[in-house]
Structure 1
Amino acid sequence: MSNSSSKTINPPSKPPFSSKFIPKISPKLSSLPLPLKPIYKFHLKIQSSLSPDPQNPRKPLNLISILTALPDWADAVQEKGMRKKRVLYNHESWAEHRSSLRHVRHLLSSLSSRVIVSLLPPVLFFTSVAVIVSGYNTAVTLDLLPEFFPVLRASSLPYQLTAPALALLLVFRTEASYSRYVEGRQAWTKVIGGATELAREVIAYVDDFNDGIMKRSLLQYIMAFPIALKCHLLSDSDVRRDLQSILEADDLAVVLSSKHRPQCIIQFISQSLQLLSLENQKRIALDSKLSRFHDGISVCEQIVGTPIPLSYTRLTSRFLVLWHLTLPVILWDDCHWIVVPATFISAASLFCIEEVGVLIEEPFPMLALDALCKVLCTNIQEAITVQKAVKIRVNAKKKTYQYNEHSTNGWPASRVDKT
Structure 2
Amino acid sequence: MAIPNSSLHIISSSPSKFPSMTPFKFPSKPSKIRCSQNPNPPSPPSTLNLISILRIIPDWADEIKESRMKQTKSLYKHEDWVEHRSSLRHIRHLLSSLSSRVILSLVPPVIAFTTVAVVVASYNTAVFWELLPEFFPVLRASSLPYQLTAPALALLLVFRTEASYSRFEEGRKAWTKIVSGTYDFARQVIVSVETDSVLKMALLRYILAFPVALKCHLVHGSDTGKDLKNLLEDDDLAVVLRSNHRPRCIIQFISQSLQMLNLEPSKRTSLESKVTCFHEGIGVCEQITSIPIPVSYTRLTSRFLVLWHLTLPIILWDDCHWIVVPATFISAASLFCIEEVGVLIEEPFPMLALDELCKLVYDNVQEALTSEKKIKDLLDAKMADHASRKRSSNGHPTSGSGQATWPNINF
TM bin, normalised by shorter chain, reads 0.7 to 0.9
Map Cα deviations across residues 283-305 of structure 1 (whole Å, 9 max, x no partner): 10111011110000000000010
Is 1:82 the counterpart of 2:69 in the alignment?
yes
Q: TM-score if structure 2 supplies the norm length?
A: 0.85
What displacement does 1:55 show?
A: 4.5
Q: Residue 192 of structure 2 aligns with which residue?
A: 205
Deviation at 1:58, TM superposition (A): 2.9
**Who is 1:401 aligned against?**
386
- Tell me how many residue pairs correspond in the alignment: 358
- Structure with the higher helix share, 1 or 2: 1
Rounded to whole Å, the distance in 2 between the matches of 1:339 and 1:382 is 62
Give the number of the structure with larger relative contact order, counting CA–CA contacts within 8 Å between residues 6 or more apart: 2
Which structure has the bigger radius of gyration? 1
Q: Kindly state the Cα deviation for residue 54 of structure 1 after the two structures are TM-superposed.
A: 5.3
SS of the aligned residue for 2:390 comes to coil
Question: Aligned pair 1:340/2:325, yes or no?
Answer: yes
> 100-109 vs 267-276, which deviates more?
267-276
Rounded to whole Å, the distance in 1 between the matches of 2:70 and 2:358 is 17
Equivalent of residue 155 in structure 1, options 138, 142, 145: 142
Structure 1 SS opposite 2:71 = coil
* CA distance in 1: counterparts of 2:178 and 2:354, whole angstroms: 11
SS at match of 1:250: helix
Partner of 2:181: 194
Structure-1 separation of matches of 2:266 and 2:86? 52
- Residue in structure 1 matching 2:109, options 122, 145, 148: 122
Q: Secondary structure at the match of 1:414?
A: coil
Offset at residue 217 of structure 1 (A): 0.6
1:219 aligns with 2:207: no
> What code does the residue aligned with 1:72 have?
D
Alignment partner for residue 185 of structure 1, among 172, 176, 180? 172
Alignment of 1:2-13 (within 5 A): none
Match of 2:299 in 1: 314
Q: Any idea what the Cα deviations from partners look like across 1:227-275, whole Å, max 9, x if unmatched? A: 0000111121111111111111111111111111111111111111122
2:347 is matched with which residue: 329, 346, 362?
A: 362
User: Structure 1 regions of 5+ residues with no counterpart?
Assistant: 1-52, 407-411
Which amino acid letter does the alignment assign opposite residue 280 of structure 1?
Answer: P
Cα distance in structure 2, aligned partners of 1:87 and 1:288: 31
The answer to whether the 8 Å contact 2:178/2:278 transfers is: yes
Which whole-Å CA distance do the structure 2 matches of 1:288 and 1:197 have between them?
A: 11
Distance 2:215 2:58 in 1: 29
> Where in structure 1 do 4 or more consecutive aligned residues deviate above 6 Å?
none
Closer, same or farther: CA 172–271 of 1 in aligned 2, 3 Å: same
How many angstroms does 1:402 deviate by?
2.0
What is aligned with 1:106? 93
SS of 1:415's partner is coil
**Aligned-partner Cα distance in 2 for 1:83–1:223:** 22
For 1:417 and 1:382, locate their aligned partners in 2 and report how far apart those are by CA, in whole Å.
35
RMSD, aligned α-carbons: 1.6
Report the counterpart of residue 266 of structure 1 in structure 2: 251
Shift of 1:63: 1.9
1:169: which partner in 2? 156
TM-score (norm 1): 0.83
How much does 1:222 deviate?
A: 0.7
Counterpart selection for 1:246 from 217, 228, 231: 231
Aligned equivalents of 2:398 and 2:95: distance in 1?
73
Residue identity opposite 1:299 in structure 2: V
Alignment partners' CA distance in 1, 2:101 and 2:378: 53
**Aligned partners of 2:401, 2:384: CA distance in 1, in Å?**
21
Residues 87-111 of structure 1: per-residue CA shift (max 9 Å, x gap): 1010111111111000000000000
- Given the superposition, is the C-alpha separation of residues 239 and 339 from structure 1 closer, same or farther in structure 2, using an over 3 Å criterion? same
Deviation at 1:414, TM superposition (A): 2.0
How far does the alpha carbon of each residue in 1:52-93 deviate from its partner, in whole angstroms, 9 at most, with x for none? x9556233x322111110000000000001111101010111
Whether 1:301 and 2:286 are equivalent positions in the alignment is yes
Separation of aligned partners in 1, 2:383 and 2:191: 17
| CA gap 1:217/1:76 in 2 versus in 1, 3 angstroms | same
Bigger CA drift: 294-303 or 275-284? 275-284
CA distance in 1: counterparts of 2:328 and 2:344, whole angstroms: 24
**Equivalent pairs: percent with the same residue?**
68
C-alpha distance in 2 between matches for 1:184 and 1:256: 25
Provide the C-alpha distance between the structure 2 equivalents of 1:113 and 1:269, rounded to a whole number of angstroms. 42
